[in-house]
Structure 1
Amino acid sequence: MFSLDWIYYAISWILLTWHSAWDAIGVPVGAVIGTNFAWILSIVFLVVTVRVILFPVFVKQIKSQRAMQALQPKVKELQEKHKGDRETLQKEMMELYKKEKANPLMGCLPMFLQIPVFLGLFHVLRRLDPDKQNKTLYGWTVDQFQSASQAKLFTAPIAGKFGSTADELASLGANGTTVKIIAGVLVLVMIATTYLTSRQMILKTGWAEDPQQRMIQRLMLYGIPASLLISGAIFPIGVIIYWVTNNLFTLGQQQWVLRKFPPPVTAKKAVAPAATRNPVQPAKSGGLFGRGKAAPPAPVKAAAPKVAGPKPGAKPVNNPKKSRPAKRQG
């Protein structure tokens, strides 16, 4: 059977290394406002460590998404050509992706690579039970184990979870109501930030024309956040802190990449050439932003009729009114 111990050792080593660093700097190890900041920061910088390692994969993900966007016109042509023939359509699209070296699954790769880290942290935090006999597993010392098992976020143990049993809460010395409130709020934040990370990318790149790619987008946008509403109850608070921190890191990273390397302009978003635009637009009235009705066009003054002058060489015509002598009175 395949063993995941190497993942548990790696996660433990990163956590303990960061905890030792914060302890050496002078970050409070004991609880301040009910929080052990050294352990909380160790989980936060576990995220930073993993994301730095996976940064090349993130770059490949962005490049793959750009390649998929560039192929959208060809994908649409194939859909029109093989409408009703799903098997042939899928075959043609796979050949197109292979030819252009684009992978529709690359968008999910960073998330899949983080699953072992998530499972490793989940397993390590679950064993932070003071009643455990083996406290030195995965490279922990007894003092480190005791310190981590007592670590709290606003008096809620990082090993506690929304669905903790009464026995689990008793062994951690935790208040059930406090744990449920802190875990419940974090689960809602986790769901919201998970939704926002997917929505941010889709708003910038648009929905894919490829049905398979569109299905993946819908899964990322709606499926995963919905599943967290149920599964979040079994996640330790420390794992939820990891997930939320990872989402915030992703939001910032995606915003930077999308600003520095904006997605290509598709045919739908292309601006009409100057020759096809109407150069004269009716002015709008109704306030500062012109939200009212279109203002009526200015009245056009009628041009004065032109008086034809005498033709060249013609004799001047006397005005009879002027040439007639005035009558004498008398």
Structure 2
Amino acid sequence: MSLDWIYIAISWLLLRWHELWDLIVPKTVVLGTNWSWVLAIVFLVITVRILLFPLFVKQIRSQRAMQAIQPKVKELQAKHKGDKETLQREMMELYRTEKANPLMGCLPLVLQMPVFLGLLHVLRRLVPDGKHNPTLYGWTAEQFDLASHAKLFGAPIAGKFGATAGVEALGSTPLNVKIVAGVLILMMMATTFMTSRQMILKTGWSEDPQQKMIQRLMLYGIPFTLLISGYLFPIGVIIYWVTTNLFSLGQQFWVLKKYPPPPAAAKIGEKSKDVDAAAKLTVEAPKPGVKPANQKKRGARR
């Protein structure tokens, strides 16, 4: 199946935003950055996330419904322990009655993947090496040339931490690319961690061991894998990822405030915070026979 329609759609959005910002910001390079192209990527993210916002709200509502019906789910599991067919039928009826959809949690992420992959493909071909057709996916030769030379703090947006060959021809250096890409990769990892942490602190750790393992994977595993994948991502794609994470942080803050978790989940979240606070006090507590630091200071003053 050809994915050209995705590449054409992503290119069209990117080019329209670039044309708009080209009218607003200076066309000259400022701080080693072609801001019209960088802002075009940022507003590509904002466009996609605004279009997907209604689905995100449905996702949160479905998650709340799933949390609220957990006691009923456990009752059904206990009642139909040896009858999988009846259990499945009763579970589907429960989901329908309570308007809960277990698959809704993955839908916004699944719909964002084609956009991410489309931008990755489009930016990877922005290399003026004669091997790529500059007029593919609705681009003009001039737009291709401008985009392939576009930079963020002196590093080409099509450049990668792990592939710096040929960047001199674009007016940059391998060290410049590695510094800019390295900082962005760290930002990508940090914002990914913060996004998952924000959700877990609000809703609490799951009591189900399997779900808790998935939460830990989301919190620690995914940010770590970005250290590897970020090595191969073009700088423009990392800009996209960091922007979408920042958008997610603001979006989750608003939605979690408007649609708070059920009381049971909120208590779990508060319990997690209390455990963390208790652990911190235990670590900071003085050892037997050792006076606290503040007590020593009072004695010195006397």
TM-score, normalised by the number of residues in structure 2: 0.80
Could you give the per-residue CA deviations for residues 252-293 of structure 1, whole angstroms, max 9, x where no partner exists?
0110111222222128839xxxxxxxxxxxxxxxxxxxxxxx
Q: Secondary structure at the match of 2:262?
A: coil
Shift of 1:213: 4.4
Residue 247 of structure 1 aligns with which residue?
A: 245
Residue 163 of structure 1 aligns with which residue?
A: 162
Could you give the per-residue CA deviations for residues 180-229 of structure 1, whole angstroms, max 9, x where no partner exists?
11111111110111111111111111233455644543332223212111
Query: Alignment partner for residue 128 of structure 1, among 117, 126, 129?
Result: 126
Query: Alignment partner for residue 64 of structure 1, among 62, 65, 88?
Result: 62
Residue 111 of structure 1 aligns with which residue?
A: 109
Alignment of 1:296-311 (within 5 A): none
Q: Equivalents in 2 of 1:109, 1:16: separation in Å? A: 27
Q: Equivalents in 1 of 2:152, 2:169: separation in Å? A: 17
Could you give the per-residue CA deviations for residues 113-155 of structure 1, whole angstroms, max 9, x where no partner exists?
1110000000100111112352111111111111111111110
Code of the residue aligned with 2:34 in structure 1: it is N
Q: Secondary structure at the match of 2:205?
A: coil
Q: Equivalents in 2 of 1:56, 1:108: separation in Å? A: 14
Bigger mean CA offset, 190-199 vs 208-217: 208-217
Q: Equivalents in 2 of 1:234, 1:173: separation in Å? A: 21
Q: Equivalents in 1 of 2:151, 2:83: separation in Å? A: 54
Code of the residue aligned with 1:118 in structure 2: it is F
Q: Structure 1 pair 126/268, CA: closer, same or farther in 2 (3 Å)?
A: closer
Residue 34 of structure 2 aligns with which residue?
A: 36
Q: Secondary structure at the match of 1:30?
A: coil
Q: Equivalents in 2 of 1:144, 1:154: separation in Å? A: 20
Q: Structure 1 pair 256/68, CA: closer, same or farther in 2 (3 Å)?
A: same
- Identity over aligned residues, as a percent? 70
The answer for unaligned runs of 5 or more in structure 2 is 269-302
Q: Equivalents in 1 of 2:91, 2:222: separation in Å? A: 26
Alignment of 1:1-330 (within 5 A): 2-25=1-24, 27-77=25-75, 91=88, 94-95=91-92, 96-132=94-130, 133-166=132-165, 168-210=166-208, 213-266=211-264, 269=267
- Does the aligned pair in 2 maintain the 1:130–1:171 contact within 8 Å? no
Q: Secondary structure at the match of 1:234?
A: coil
- Does the aligned pair in 1 maintain the 2:73–2:91 contact within 8 Å? no
Q: Secondary structure at the match of 2:2?
A: coil
Code of the residue aligned with 2:158 in structure 1: it is A
Q: Structure 1 pair 100/75, CA: closer, same or farther in 2 (3 Å)?
A: same
Code of the residue aligned with 2:151 in structure 1: it is K
Could you give the per-residue CA deviations for residues 75-115 of structure 1, whole angstroms, max 9, x where no partner exists?
344566688x7968984784444553422332222112111
Q: Equivalents in 2 of 1:120, 1:111: separation in Å? A: 15
Q: Structure 1 pair 267/218, CA: closer, same or farther in 2 (3 Å)?
A: closer
- Does the aligned pair in 2 maintain the 1:163–1:234 contact within 8 Å? yes
Larger Rg: 1
Q: Equivalents in 1 of 2:205, 2:87: separation in Å? A: 18
Q: Structure 1 pair 130/90, CA: closer, same or farther in 2 (3 Å)?
A: farther
RMSD: 2.6
Q: Structure 1 pair 140/78, CA: closer, same or farther in 2 (3 Å)?
A: same
Q: Equivalents in 2 of 1:189, 1:91: separation in Å? A: 43
Q: Equivalents in 1 of 2:221, 2:103: separation in Å? A: 16
Code of the residue aligned with 1:70 in structure 2: it is A
Shift of 1:169: 2.7
